[in-house]
Structure 1
Amino acid sequence: MNIRTIIMTTLLFCLCITGAKQALASVTNEVKSMVDEVVRIVSDKEMKKPQNEQKRRNALKKAISTIFDYGEMTQRSMGKHWKERSPAEKKELVQLFETLLENSYAGKIESYNQEKIVYLKENVESEYADVRSKVITAKRDEFSLDYRLMSKGGRWMVYDVVIEGVSLVSNYRTQFNNIIQRQGYGELVKKLRVKSEEIKAP
């Protein structure tokens, strides 16, 4: 192997390593960018006022939707029942589930009170990635808040959120399956509609 080949091989190896690090860093950066915006919203004194509740929720919805893949989350939460639904039913499910998920996530993060968010680790395997973080309260209590992402259209999108080891998607999948098995699909939609209206109510 001549000197030129050695140099080119070394450069290629270094570029591969650098590229991998940049790709890895971008996953956490995608999550951090969204979380920073959410924290900014919930920390805003004006936004905290009762009369601005709807404005705050709309701002949170906008921030969260930049990285949450509601279609993927709905499909995974429906599990084996997803393929049985018509295109119109799937569209309504995604809309209803979007409201439910936004409320679940926003409800957790709205209690933020200057806690420290620490990003611990990220794992990337092909088109899938995990970003692990923890929230440390003023009383030094901690809880884990992890994100599962997949690459879509050149971007990393969240398809699940794991809070204290409990997957939101897995939790909903169990609930949805139980309702469908015992009461039918129609009852599930009815419950989701009622819940959606409760969430939207001022």
Structure 2
Amino acid sequence: MPISARSLIAGFVLSTFVFFGHAPAAEAANAAASPSAVFKERHGKVLELVKKRADPETLAKEVDQLLDYKALAEASLGGPARYANKCAPRCAEFEALLTKLIRENYLKRIRTDKKYELTIVGEDAKVGGDIRVITNIALTRDGKPEVVEVVYVMHAVGDTWKVEDIVTDGVSLAKNYKFEFNKIIRDKGIDELILRLENKLVELAKKN
């Protein structure tokens, strides 16, 4: 499946696709903790579990506290209004496979990032109530120091914040998936997209 290298770097994850942005939910989330604080806590817990070589189930549960797979799935097919028409009659299969792919890519990035320095630069608001948590990853590539900007777009879900998109050096994971997935569906249908997702997961499993 031609999922780009930038998609893999971003790992996993726009506007609010699953609309939890009503004032009470947003206020509750703000009252509990800021998006950057939630990201720092959740990301830190996943990093510690990776370092401790925690079992896959424990890792998955922790990653699932941070990433909003439903929002990413809907965004990848053009939003909630188009979602059911694009993936029917296999929406449940599509969402389950994409969830696994996003989770595995996020953990892949975590396993790589633990060798580097991740700094939370700050956060800013987007129209609609989303918050961009801006981070920098300092690394060395081909013997030269480099800084990669990774932005986590977060929205209020109940009394917390979750990631609905990951933007690496200006490249959106959700938009990348949208471009790739819709082309596959347009040319060959949802069955082909599901087959390619299955193949990609098999490929990732062989690399782990």
Shorter-chain TM-score range: 0.7 to 0.9
Partner of 2:122: 121
Distance 1:85 1:171, change over 3 A: closer
Equivalent-residue separation in structure 2 for 1:180 and 1:88 (angstroms): 13
Secondary structure of 1:127's match?
A: coil
> Residue type matched to 1:60 in 2?
L
Q: Give unpaired runs (5+ residues) of structure 2.
A: 1-26
1:153 matches 2:154: no
Normalising by structure 2, report the TM-score.
0.72
Q: Give the Cα separation in 1 of the matches to 2:174 and 2:97.
A: 14
1:198 Cα deviation from its structure 2 partner = 3.8
Distance 1:66 1:92 in 2: 21
C-alpha separation in 2, matches of 1:39 and 1:182: 39
Q: Of residues 51, 54, 62 in structure 2, which corresponds to 1:43? A: 51
Alignment correspondent of 2:132: 130
> Deviation per CA, 1:154-190, whole angstroms, max 9, x where unpaired?
2211111112221111111111011111112211111
Structure with bigger RCO (C-alpha 8 Å, 6+ apart): 2
1:200 to partner: Cα distance: 4.5
Structure 2 residue 58 is the aligned partner of structure 1 residue 71: no
| Aligned residue identity for 1:61 | A
Give TM-score scaled by structure 1 length: 0.74
Residue by residue, what CA displacement relative to the aligned partner does 1:2-23 show, whole Å, maximum 9, x if unpaired? xxxxxxxxxxxxxxxxx9xx65
What's the offset of the Cα at 1:74?
Answer: 0.2
Output one character per residue of 1:20-71: Cα deviation in whole Å (capped at 9) or x when no partner: xx65961101100111112212333xx2xxxx7xx2x444322211021111
In structure 2, how many angstroms separate the alpha carbons of the residues matched to 1:166 and 1:41? 28
What is the match of residue 100 of structure 1? 101
Which range moves more in the overlay, 157-166 or 70-79?
A: 157-166
Cα gap change, 1:32/1:64 in structure 2, threshold over 3 Å: closer, same or farther?
A: same
Question: What is the total number of aligned residue pairs between the two structures?
Answer: 173
The 1:161/1:189 distance shift into structure 2, 3 A limit, reads: same
Question: Per the alignment, in what secondary structure is the counterpart of residue 141 of structure 1?
Answer: strand
SS at match of 2:90: helix
> Which of these two proteins has the greater Rg computed from alpha carbons?
1
What one-letter code is carried by the residue in structure 2 that aligns with 1:101?
I
Question: 2:13: which partner in 1?
Answer: none
Cα RMSD of the aligned pairs, angstroms, is 2.6
d(CA) in 2 for partners of 1:25 and 1:120?
17
State the identity %. Answer: 24
